[in-house]
A and B are shown apart, each in its own frame.
Chain A
Amino acid sequence: KAGVTQTPRYLIKTRGQQVTLSCSPISGHRSVSWYQQTPGQGLQFLFEYFSETQRNKGNFPGRFSGRQFSNSRSEMNVSTLELGDSALYLCASSPRQESINTEAFFGQGTRLTVV
């Protein structure tokens, strides 16, 4: 069974631009979550999508948004990029809407560098 696939793996953007990252969950998984990993802040939750609906959102500005399609694939978008948005963005998939016992399976991440 294929794992979580994130594309692209690496991305370089200029301040002020916008970027879209893609995540394909494990086949049959319906929940997708996004996390930002930086050296300073560590791993922080961005949002969770289940059945094409955003179920939960972390403490990030409105420049960060996402969506989920009917095939459970998800995209996240960051508009008006800032230098501080440089990070590894990780996507995780779960079979169902996340609950206390849910295991999350992570992709390899997209490394975004803002210059």
Chain B
Amino acid sequence: GDSVTQMEGPVTLSEEAFLTINCTYTATGYPSLFWYVQYPGEGLQLLLKATKADDKGSNKGFEATYRKETTSFHLEKGSVQVSDSAVYFCALRGAAGNKLTFGGGTRVLVKP
């Protein structure tokens, strides 16, 4: 079945540092890929998405590129802020389209 693996956290960074969160997936066919963010005490917010190979999703300074050859969708941000402290989830929606499959989440802590 479909699965998503993302790096375990926590990831601790200083403000203005570069952030990378690795995400790889296993799925049949060509899934759509998503990054969601969860702030403390909140639900999930869609951060960005990509629906086909080589697509780049971007939002709020975050970027991720759909790499079919490496089955990856790594999240990057060039200069993080304290407000980026949250848990980030990589997810896919497979060919059946009927559910999101999530990775385990990566907690990011940005210190001033």
B82 part of interface (Cβ distance < 8 Å)? no
Contact: A56 with B43, CB < 8 Å?
A: no
- Inter-subunit contact A105/B46 (CB<8 Å): yes
Query: Is B99 touching A101 in the complex (CB atoms < 8 A)?
Result: no
- Alpha-carbon distance A109/B32, docked complex (angstroms): 24
**B98 contacts A109, CB within 8 Å?**
no
Task: For the complex formed, measure the closest distance between the CB of B1 and the CB atoms of chain A, giving whole angstroms.
Answer: 10
Binary CB contact string for chain B from 10 to 54 against chain A (1 if under 8 A, 0 otherwise): 000000000000000000000110101000011111100101000
B-side interface residues toward A, CB under 8 Å?
31-32, 34, 36, 41-46, 49, 51, 89, 91, 93-105
For the complex with contacts A90-B44, A92-B44, A104-B46, 4 further pairs of A-B residues with Cβ separation under 8 Å are: A42-B103, A101-B97, A104-B100, A109-B43
